Every structure is written in C-alpha cells, then in structure tokens.
Amino acid sequence: MGHRIISVCTILVCLTSFATAQINRELPKFSPTPDGVVSEAEMSGQLVLPMIWPVENGAIPLEGSGTSEEEISATWYVSWDDLNLNVAAVVKDDTPIYQIAASGGNVPYNAQDVMQPVFNPFNNPDHLFVDGQFEDDDPGDAVAAIYDIVVETADEFGPDIYRHGPRLDADEWESIAVAGTINEDESGYTVETTIPWATAMDDADPDYKPSIGDEHGLSFIVLGFAAEGGASNATLFTDFGEGANTIADPTTWNSVTLVAGTAMPGDFNGDGQLTSEDLDVHSQYIKDSNLVGDLNEDGVTDLVDRVVWTEQLQGSWIGDSNFDGEFNSSDLVSVFTPGKYETNLMATYAEGDWNGDMLFNSSDLVAVFAAGGYEQGPRGDVNGVPEPLSASLILLGSTVCIALRRGRLNRGPGTRNDV
C-alpha cells in the first residue's frame, strides 16, 4: 500500500520559496524516560514548541484534514544529554490514519500520520538533504536528515522510526529508543524517542560528543491525514525559518544551541533531582575539564566542586554514598561491598569514587576523611569540631575490616575479589 501513496515530503521538496532568517532556540540538557508518556517533569525540563493552528512560524501548504487544534496539532518536547538527542510530541488528531505497513520496521512513513523532526548536524549550510542517499555513498555531504516517528502502523508494528536522507542501517535503527501511546478515545497520541548522538551524527562526526554551546539545525513537521490516500487528504505544519520554506534546503531550517538546562543547580543529568548519578556525570566533567561542573566558579572542575555539591546542594558530607544525610560506617560498608577497592575497575560515587577519578582507592579515603564529616551526623546537627584526620583513620581501620568481611560474605566463595 505504501508504494501507491504519494509522499507528502516528495511534494514539499519540489516547493520553492524565499529563505528567511533562522530561528535559534535554546535546547536544555535533560534526560527523559522514553515510555510513551511526557510527564510534568519532562515538560518543564525541555524545550517546549507548540505547533497549533494557526502556526505563526510555519506553513500549511496542504489543508485536507483539519483547521482546528483538535483536528490536528502537536506540542514538541525536545532536549539533549551526553548520549542522546531527545524528541517527543504530544499530538491531537481526531482522524488517526495508519496506512503504511512496517514489514519489520525502518521503512518510510511520510504518507500517514507522522511526526517529523528534521536535523542538520552543526547547522552546516553545505550539508545537503538528498532523500534516498545511503550514508556511505557520500560521507559528510548529504547528512541533513528527516526522521519519521509513528505511533502505529497498518500491520500494528509501531511505534517505529525511519530516517530520510542518510538512511539508518540495522544497528542504528536498533540503537534508537521509540515509545508511544494512543489516547483511549483516539483523540490523539504521544510519541517519544531518544536518538544516540553516534547515530544522529554518523555521517558528519561519528565520534561527536555534545558540549554546551554547540549548534545544530533542527526544525519540525506535523503531518496528519483525514482519510487514506494521497496528499490531498493531508494537513502539514512546517517549522522553517519565519515562514514557508522548502524542506530541501537545510539553510532554511531553524537551529538549536545546546545549553545547560533548566534543572536545579547540580542536577547534571537533568532528571529533576539530586542523586549520586549527578556525581558520576561530574566525574566525567572532571576528566574532560568541563566547566559545567565548576560549582565554586574558580575556573577548574575538581574535588572542591564535589565538596560544594555534597555540602551546599545535597546538605550532607562527601562520602555519604547511601544519601541518608550523614557519612558513617554504613557508607563504608556500602562502597566496599561491590569489591572494587584498589582493583582499577571503574567505580561510581555509590561504589567509592568520592574524588571523581572514576576509581575507588586510598586517594578517595584520604579525600573524604580530610573533609571531616565522618561520624559527625547530619550537617545540621554538627556543633563541635570535626575529629582530626588521624583519629578518623583509626576509626577507618576497624570499619574497613568489617566492610571487607561483609563484602566477602555477600559475594560468596570463588570470586576474583575474595579477600
């Protein structure tokens, strides 16, 4: 069926118009959960872009399926993190049409109800959009892409995703998380996807690591059909520049600049809360000399910033690995139990990487005991002077023995880390 349907994007590629200035938006750092539901936290932490009739910054070249918000509209929620470009859309569509059969997935869906983010790596005007190009045909040239995100297909395979331009190979398609839900009354649907940067940037820079200040081309298309058939039954909203521009010209696509995010200070993974995972991200910031982690604004991201994080933001002590508000023997037991001490195995904050070098060894113990929080109770309860480092290390000896013993018993016999 899909081969007999006229592609809406095929028509658009043939449209011409005068290019206008791009709209640059800020794309916050945030890590949503692709489960087919956009939570309140995900709404507040991401770029929000409504495409609701009338669309001021877009075109409606085809008007077959509706002229009201309830008939066809969408609100996009977009963000980035260290691993992914995150895109979601909450859609109103009172005539759901799923007329393309997936046949195993990764096929074009631009002739049925579909959400289409359009992406140009680095917002490069020399990056062409050429539909049908495989990525290895012309590396680094035809890298601008249009994604089809669908909630359902004619053979009930959905949700699914496809990429026009440099097509996705099987591994890249598998790497993308796609989720979706359809409203019970069929008044609309929600789609969410996380596209790994390694996939989004495959033909431009396969080793790309996102950084604050990076700019990419990113615009959006909302497409809905009123009935099965061709483009005459479709309504399409576009988001190009400040008016109706050709989809074939990425210089008319809008752009986004990666920013730190709207979450609370210290929420480095953008999940709306302060957890040990934020300190794991901070360890990477230390390794990369990334000033996003420079909390005390001294021009360096280091251990001092981790102390600031735990004392001023968490309200506890560095070393409080179980996040119960204090640093004591229970934290030592918890970090020694995984058995990573002095093994050179990569460790998280919850596994003893207190100084941010991604390992758990004696330098971490020196760092946390020098901070003076051991057995001091919650920070708000501290009235006296913390014990000197030598006294803390004496307490450490017996506690570590207990922790190592418990770790051995928990692991059972015959493991590499048996003591």
Residues 229 and 281 in one domain: no
- 362 falls within a domain: yes
Q: Which domain holds residue 281?
A: 276-411
Alpha helices in 81-221 (DSSP H): 170-175, 197-200
Q: Give the CATH number for residue 149.
A: 2.60.40.1190
Q: For the segment 44-57, what is each residue's pLDDT rounded down to a tens digit?
A: 788 988 887 666 55
Q: pLDDT grade, residue 356 (50/70/90)?
A: very high
381 confidence band (pLDDT: 50, 70, 90): low
Overall domain count for the chain = 2
Mean pLDDT, residues 85-101 = 94
Determine the 3-state secondary structure of 243 from DSSP: strand
The DSSP call for residue 22 is P
pLDDT at 3: 41
- Pair of tokens at residue 398: 């017996």
Give the mean model confidence (pLDDT) for residues 258-266.
Answer: 76
266: in domain: no
Do both 288 and 331 map to the same domain?
yes
The answer as to whether 418 is a domain residue is no
Residue 211 in contact with residue 66, Cβ under 8 Å? Answer: no
Does 129 or 180 have the greater pLDDT score? Answer: 180
What is the per-residue pLDDT for 41? 74
213 within some domain: yes
Instruction: State the pLDDT at residue 318.
Output: 95
- Which residues touch 38 (CB under 8 Å, ≥6 apart)? 32, 77, 88, 90, 190, 192
Locate tokens 């601008």: which residue?
Answer: 144
Torsion over CA of 329, 333, 334 and 336, rounded to 10 degrees? 130
The pLDDT score that the predictor gives to residue 311 is 93
Please report the pLDDT score of residue 390 as a whole number: 45
Q: How many helices (H) and strands (E) does the chain have?
A: 9, 12
Predicted confidence band at 63 (pLDDT cuts at 50, 70, 90)? Answer: low
205: burial class by Cβ within 10 Å (0-12, 13-18, 19+)?
A: middle
417 in a domain, yes or no? no
Is 19 in contact with 66 (CB distance < 8 Å)? no
d(CA 408, CA 402): 10
Residue 353 tokens read as: 């990487």
Residues 210 and 86 both lie in one domain: yes
Confidence band (pLDDT; 50, 70, 90) for 376?
A: very high
pLDDT at 418: 35
Q: Give the pLDDT band of residue 241 (cuts 50, 70, 90).
A: low
Task: Give the span between the Cα atoms of 404 and 419, in whole angstroms.
Answer: 8
In a domain, 96, yes or no: yes
Looking at the structure, do residues 95 and 238 belong to the same domain, yes or no? yes
Q: How far apart are CA 262 and CA 279, in angstroms?
A: 18
| 272 — pLDDT class (breaks 50, 70, 90) | low
Check pLDDT > 90 for residue 293: no
Least confident of 193-202, 227-236, 375-384: 375-384
Residues 143 and 238 reside in one and the same domain: yes
Question: How much is the mean pLDDT over the chain?
Answer: 82
Say how many residues make up the chain. Answer: 419
Confidence class of residue 274 from pLDDT cuts 50, 70 and 90?
A: confident
Together in a domain, 237 and 291 = no
Distance CA 73, CA 71 (A): 7
The CA distance from 8 to 235, in Å, is: 9
Same domain, 124 and 28: yes
370-to-3, 284, 365, 377, 395 alpha-carbon distances in Å: 69, 23, 8, 16, 13
Q: Do 121 and 223 share a domain, yes or no?
A: yes
CA dist 158 and 310 (Å) reads 44
**Lookup: tokens for 216:** 């990419």
Query: 3-state SS string over 24-88?
Result: EEEECECCCCCCCCCCHHHHHHCEEEEECCCCCCCCCCCECCCCCCCCEEEEEEEEECCCEEEEE
CB 38 within 8 A of CB 76: no
Type of residue found at 215? E
Bigger pLDDT: 124 vs 20:
124
Q: What is the pLDDT of residue 207?
A: 94
Apex CA 280: angle with CA 278 and CA 283, to 5°?
115
3-state secondary structure of 369: helix
Q: CA 20 to CA 14: how far, in whole Å? A: 18
- Tokens representing residue 13 in the block: 């590629």
Q: Is residue 306 part of a domain?
A: yes
pLDDT digits (tens, 9 = 90+) for 195-218: 999 999 998 999 999 999 999 999
Instruction: Supply 379's token pair.
Output: 């920070």
pLDDT at 15: 46
Does pLDDT of 230 surpass 50? yes
CB 322 within 8 A of CB 330: yes
Q: Are residues 64 and 205 in the same domain?
A: yes
Residues 253 and 283 in one domain: no
Pairing of strands 215-225, 114-120: antiparallel
Identify the residue with better confidence: 388 or 360.
Answer: 360
246, 309: one domain: no
Alpha helices in 152-275 (DSSP H): 170-175, 197-200
Task: Give the pLDDT score at 242.
Answer: 55
Based on the fold, state whether residues 13 and 120 are members of the same structural domain.
yes
Asked if residue 419 belongs to a domain, the reply is no
Interacting residues of 288 by C-beta distance below 8 A, sequence separation 6+: none
